[in-house]
Every structure is written in C-alpha cells, then in structure tokens.
C-alpha cells in the first residue's frame, strides 16, 4: 500500500465529520429519535400487514408515539416471458409506496417521499410451485420496501 493511500484512509474520518456526517444511532441521531416512537397506520391488506410488520421490526413498536407513519401502497403485476401459446413463464411484482411521517403533537408532516421496487417469480412449475413463488415474492418485496422506507426516514432531518 502506498503512502498516499494510507494518508487517505487516515483522513477519511475527518472528511466525514467535516461534511456533517452523524451516526444514526448516535446522541440526537435520527435512529435514536425514531426508535420505539413511530406508530404505523393500521394495515388494510395482507401486503400492508407484511410491510407494517417489517417496519415495526426495524423501528420498534410504540405505546406512546411521537410520530405517525402513513403509507399509500400501490401494487401491480407484470407478465414476462410469454411463450408462443400465450402462457406466462415469469412475473414481476411491482410496489410503489408514498409515505409521510407526521409529528403526532402538531400534525405537521416531518418528512415524506416515495419508494418503488420490484421482485420476480417463476410460473413454469406446478400450480403449487407458482403460488409458493408468488407468496415468497410478496414477502420479499415488502422486506425490500420496508428497508427503503426506514433508510429514507433515517436519512431525513427530523430536527427542523
């Protein structure tokens, strides 16, 4: 390793401090502000239940919430790999979620945004295999979406 590379590695933490980097779970960090303090709106479908469960697993469940998280979940399914007979061999399950985090005391929206992602599953096996693949895709997609939402919440400036 050259001397220049060693110096770069030693100076990297200083660069993070200079740009305003703050650990999520450090004192006053967003993770600390949100942990066990967010009430997610009640789910209305199996997909929103899975999403709520995943978010609560990451943020904790609140008895005395400081924030309320609203989710607008929109799902679609795209057919891929259609053969000559018109049979679909693969599907994409697509989710788009608009979210907003409100301060419970004031009702003011603290942060909001939108996330989108997809997962695929095969439909080339038996009916049971296809159904199992679809259910697995549903769970995987909600895990991905929860991770995206929580990451965005952690990156938000809640102190303003």
* pLDDT tier for residue 143 given thresholds of 50, 70 and 90: very high
- Tell me the C-alpha distance between 119 and 129, whole Å: 16
- C-alpha torsion sign, points 120, 139, 74, 131: positive
- pLDDT of 120 > 60? The answer is yes
- Tell me the C-alpha distance between 125 and 26, whole Å: 49
**Within a domain: residue 160?**
no
For residue 129, the model assigns a pLDDT of 85
- Give the count of domains, the chain: 1
- Tell me the C-alpha distance between 89 and 83, whole Å: 7
* pLDDT tier for residue 19 given thresholds of 50, 70 and 90: low
Average pLDDT over residues 122-143: 88
Starting at the edge strand found earlier in the chain, the sheet holding 109-122 runs 38-40, 67-82, 88-103, 109-122
Task: Domain of residue 35: give its range.
Answer: 3-155
pLDDT in tens, 81-93: 777 777 777 888 9
pLDDT in tens, 6-16: 656 555 565 55
Q: What is the mean pLDDT of the chain?
A: 84
- pLDDT of 63 > 70? The answer is yes
Model pTM score = 0.79
For residue 156, the model assigns a pLDDT of 87
**Within a domain: residue 122?**
yes
For residue 78, the model assigns a pLDDT of 84
Tokens of 41: 């709106």
Looking up residue 75, the CATH number of its domain turns out to be 3.30.160.150
């Amino acid at each position: 390793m050259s001397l220049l590379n060693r110096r770069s590695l030693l100076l990297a933490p200083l660069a993070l401090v200079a740009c305003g980097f703050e650990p999520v779970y450090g004192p006053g960090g967003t993770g600390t502000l949100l942990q066990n303090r967010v009430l997610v709106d009640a789910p209305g479908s199996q997909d929103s239940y899975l999403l709520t469960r995943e978010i609560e697993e990451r943020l904790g469940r609140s008895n005395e919430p400081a924030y309320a998280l609203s989710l607008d979940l929109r799902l679609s399914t795209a057919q891929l790999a259609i053969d000559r007979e018109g049979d679909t061999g693969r599907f994409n399950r697509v989710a788009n979620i608009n979210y907003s985090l409100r301060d419970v005391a004031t009702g003011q929206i603290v942060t909001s945004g939108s996330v989108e992602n997809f997962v695929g599953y095969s439909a080339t096996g038996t009916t049971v295999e296809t159904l199992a693949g679809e259910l697995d895709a549903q769970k995987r997609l909600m895990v991905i979406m929860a991770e995206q939402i929580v990451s965005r919440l952690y990156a938000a400036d809640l102190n303003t």
